[in-house]
Chains A and B, each alone.
Chain A
């Protein structure tokens, strides 16, 4: 696992049925592009988050492919329509095979 990786999600705890809510996600990650060289001239291997998904009640809402040009600590903000009490599951996939997860629940009210 890469160093200092911590997923974070900001979601409202409650929403009205049919409301469009804003979701913000951030994961601390170095996002080493694979293009850089160290002080001895050796290539630093690529190590990035390559995929991010958000599932709402088990149904995929967002599926993002990340490429090497995306900067450190990738941040996503998107909106989702909430029809019923929902379990939100957020997943980040690392080049090294690690998978980082976070989840939030949004109640109706």
Chain B
């Protein structure tokens, strides 16, 4: 009897805690269903059965902010990027819209397949690299800083056009070598703390690292609006933060190492929905 009562108290305490409800589902604006948990892609079958979006690891309050676009502070930046999309810049007098028209039509599904092999350039390119290629070579405008606020906003706007679609980056064919390089990086321990990405995000997701609840490190929700710095954060800025936290010299955002890592990490989330801009703590 006593044990039962204690269990009941424990259950109440757990329900009221900051831990996320494991069975909560993400529906944005009451109608857009987001897949935040699904079967792991084939290349991960040896290490995990299910992949989960970072949304599932956040507290109820943070989760709720992402369920309504009015409450999602990341949407402010989406509005700003939509203005930038329609603003002519650079020596050619062109805006993004001059070539691509309405972003809602032309950019649907784009976020979901990046990073992607670019045949003409002979390299794997991230969405940010593609944006800057357009700015530099098509518009004659200055490039955005790789992890700048403007770039984060543009990526967020592009992500919204693919929201709800499954992440589906190609890891075979010409992208395979880059993907292997990214995988190598993912499992390489760095820094004084001697941690790899996998040490936290594969071996210990769901556990606490001091005050932080470790997620699987999925990037389907990027760019992410973080409550801690009240702005959108890009994938490479987050990678840099993680490597720094292992007390290592980090790679350069936009550099070949992080591009490869982005492709690999994105592929670990194949099947999850594009979520950006997400809300995280």
Size bin of chain A's contact surface? 10 to 19
In B221-251, which residues have CB < 8 Å from any A CB?
Answer: 230
Q: Is the CB of B80 within 8 A of A71?
A: no
Judged by a CB distance under 8 angstroms, whether A79 is at the interface is no
Judged by a CB distance under 8 angstroms, whether B269 is at the interface is no
Contact of B70 among A4, A8, A71 (CB under 8 A): A8
| A75 cross-chain contacts in B, Cβ below 8 A | 71, 73
| A26 cross-chain contacts in B, Cβ below 8 A | 70, 76
**Shortest beta-carbon distance from A65 to chain B in Å:** 22
Judged by a CB distance under 8 angstroms, whether B79 is at the interface is yes
Closest chain B residue to A77, Cβ basis: B71
In B101-135, which residues have CB < 8 Å from any A CB?
Answer: none
**C-alpha spacing A6/B70, complex, angstroms:** 13
Count of chain B residues with a beta carbon within 8 Å of a chain A beta carbon? 7
| B230 cross-chain contacts in A, Cβ below 8 A | 71-73
Q: Is the CB of A73 within 8 A of B76?
A: yes
Q: Is the CB of B80 within 8 A of A4?
A: yes
Interface of A is mostly: strand
Closest chain A residue to B70, Cβ basis: A10
A24-B71 CB under 8 A given contacts A71-B230, A72-B230: yes
**Shortest beta-carbon distance from B19 to chain A in Å:** 25
| A72 cross-chain contacts in B, Cβ below 8 A | 230
**Shortest beta-carbon distance from B68 to chain A in Å:** 8
Closest chain B residue to A72, Cβ basis: B230
A73-B70 CB under 8 A given contacts A4-B80, A6-B79: no
**C-alpha spacing A61/B76, complex, angstroms:** 26
**Shortest beta-carbon distance from B159 to chain A in Å:** 19
In A84-98, which residues have CB < 8 Å from any B CB?
Answer: none
**C-alpha spacing A24/B71, complex, angstroms:** 9
In B181-212, which residues have CB < 8 Å from any A CB?
Answer: none
Q: Contact string, A23-42, partner B, CB cutoff 8 A, digits 1/0?
A: 01010100000000000000
Can you give 19 contacting A-B residue pairs, CB < 8 Å?
A: A4-B80, A6-B76, A6-B79, A8-B70, A10-B70, A24-B70, A24-B71, A26-B70, A26-B76, A28-B76, A28-B79, A28-B80, A71-B230, A72-B230, A73-B73, A73-B76, A73-B230, A75-B71, A75-B73
User: 5 extra interchain contacts, Cβ-Cβ under 8 A, other than A10-B70, A73-B76?
Assistant: A24-B70, A26-B70, A28-B79, A28-B80, A75-B71
A residues adjacent to B (C-beta < 8 A): 4, 6, 8, 10, 24, 26, 28, 71-73, 75
B residues adjacent to A (C-beta < 8 A): 70-71, 73, 76, 79-80, 230
